[in-house]
Copies of this chain bind each other. A is one copy, B any other.
Amino acid sequence: MDPQREALLALSLLCEPGNRLVSTELTRRDATDTLQWLLADRDAPASVVARERLAGRSPADLVAEVLTAAHDCHARPITPLDDEWPSRVVDLAELFDETDHYTGPPLCLWARGPMNLAEAVTRSVSIVGARTCTAYGRYAATELAYGLADRDWTVLSGGAYGIDAAAHRGALAAGGPTVCVLAGGIDHVYPSAHDRLFAQIADTGLLISEWPPGASPRRYRFLVRNRVVAALTLGTVVVEAGVRSGARYTARMAAELDRPVMVVPGPITSPASAGVHQLARGPAPVRLVTRAGEIIEDLGPCGTDAGLTHRSPSRPRDRLSPDAVRILDSVPRRSAALPDRIAAQAGVPVEEARRILPGLAVQGFLEDHGGRYRLAIDAPPTSPQPSAEVVS
């Protein structure tokens, strides 16, 4: 194996993913030098941990061990040196986060499934949200993912219950591409009830993880994983989220990476939508989305294939001039009236009313009773009812 690639794999195993110390060092040295630097007898926590993790083995032995385990569970490593590497994740290097040192770019992604990761995420959207979602949230995630997959957009999410699973299922239902980002080894099905779902995803899409086979999911790893969910795609949609939610962290990372953050509104009576509505109130700019077409639209130039701008239905009275509308609305329904009375009501000169009224009768809005006018009984659809507050 290429020594640089082997060193990258070793680094990815000896540090927790996102470790900024190591990713910063990698911008200054190559991977083999960084590995040597890391394992030197220094006090930095990352170095201490790395030596402890090796437990006397050589880095090459450790890599070989993990590659064997990966082979057994059909997982392949993807490093920045591989064709499949999704280069977009390097944007994480630009993040500056004082409180969390685990936001650096991944050094390696373990993948299982037939898709090419770089190609899969070219046109991709993350759909994230609460585990404890409502039936409404599940419906929304499924519908949006279906619509996106149907237009050949890749849906990406975590592997949790709730919104994550609904998003994958929607994409799978459309026969579309879907990518599931795990927070533990690919051989570790968590939650275990997603056994079959993960198998389906691995059959047609991709299961990926920063953690090597054998690593178990840990709570803090879900947050660390979320930065990759945000970084891999063109934008992130939050479907349902309580006021405390990992999905909101994903949204924050997407915003910091200058990726569009979109939210699906819900009833103000639903606690499951409370976090989403808080996100929508800022401070970061957030777009509200209700359909797959709107998501694609909001992803900018890449979204120009959407072609789904929503137009208001048109009605016959829309084609009338403002004066004609005023006259029409002033014509009585029950007994016919003379033009001068109608004109006075409408605030339109009589002469103008005399010119307009016959035209309205020809178009079927009015009945002409020998120079007096009343509304037609079978006027065009949704014709005005003068005293109905239809537009209020």
Which one of A70-78, A107-115, A117-125, A325-333 is at the B interface?
Answer: A325-333
The proximity string for A residues 318-349 relative to B, scoring 1 for CB distances below 8 Å and 0 otherwise, is 00001001100110000000001001111111
A388: chain B residues within 8 A (beta carbon): 219
Asked, given contacts A183-B392, A389-B158, whether A312 binds B45 with beta carbons under 8 Å apart, the answer is: no
The proximity string for A residues 273-294 relative to B, scoring 1 for CB distances below 8 Å and 0 otherwise, is 1100110110000011111001
Task: Tell me how far the C-beta of A22 lies from the nearest C-beta in chain B, rounded to whole angstroms.
Answer: 11
Please tell me the size bucket of the interface on A: 35 or more
CA distance A392 to B219 in the complex (A): 9
Q: Which of B45, B269, B310, B350 touches A348 (beta carbons < 8 Å)?
A: B45
User: Considering only CB atoms, which chain B residue lies closest to A347 in the complex?
Assistant: B16
A313: chain B residues within 8 A (beta carbon): 243-244
Q: Does A362 contact B (CB under 8 A)?
A: no
CB within 8 Å of B: which of A226-253?
Answer: 226, 243-247, 249
Task: Tell me how far the C-beta of A220 lies from the nearest C-beta in chain B, rounded to whole angstroms.
Answer: 5
CA distance A136 to B273 in the complex (A): 15
Task: Tell me how far the C-beta of A285 lies from the nearest C-beta in chain B, rounded to whole angstroms.
Answer: 10
A49: chain B residues within 8 A (beta carbon): 343-344, 347-349
- Interchain CB contact under 8 A, A52 and B349: yes
A48: chain B residues within 8 A (beta carbon): 349-351
Q: Does A23 contact B (CB under 8 A)?
A: no
Task: Tell me how far the C-beta of A84 lies from the nearest C-beta in chain B, rounded to whole angstroms.
Answer: 25
Asked, given contacts A160-B389, A348-B49, whether A273 binds B268 with beta carbons under 8 Å apart, the answer is: no
- Interchain CB contact under 8 A, A223 and B391: yes
Q: Does A260 contact B (CB under 8 A)?
A: no
Asked, given contacts A190-B389, A343-B49, A392-B246, whether A326 binds B291 with beta carbons under 8 Å apart, the answer is: no
Q: Does A390 contact B (CB under 8 A)?
A: yes
CA distance A226 to B346 in the complex (A): 18
CA distance A273 to B294 in the complex (A): 16
A220: chain B residues within 8 A (beta carbon): 325-326, 329
- Interchain CB contact under 8 A, A267 and B269: no
Which one of A32-40, A56-64, A196-204, A379-387 is at the B interface?
Answer: A379-387
CA distance A19 to B326 in the complex (A): 13
Q: Does A145 contact B (CB under 8 A)?
A: no
- Interchain CB contact under 8 A, A246 and B281: no
The proximity string for A residues 284-306 relative to B, scoring 1 for CB distances below 8 Å and 0 otherwise, is 00011111001000000000000
Between A and B, 26 residue pairs with Cβ closer than 8 Å are A16-B326, A16-B346, A45-B349, A48-B350, A49-B343, A49-B349, A131-B390, A140-B268, A140-B269, A160-B389, A160-B392, A183-B392, A191-B389, A217-B389, A218-B345, A218-B386, A219-B384, A222-B391, A244-B391, A247-B392, A265-B266, A265-B268, A265-B280, A266-B266, A267-B267, A288-B288
Beyond the given pairs A159-B389, A244-B391, A280-B288, 15 more chain A to chain B contacts, judged by CB atoms under 8 angstroms and listed by A's residue number, are: A49-B344, A49-B348, A49-B349, A53-B344, A131-B390, A131-B392, A160-B389, A164-B392, A216-B386, A219-B385, A226-B392, A266-B266, A268-B291, A277-B290, A288-B288
Across chains A and B, which 9 residue pairs bring their CB atoms closest together, nearest first? A265-B265, A16-B347, A246-B391, A48-B349, A268-B290, A160-B392, A219-B329, A280-B288, A222-B392
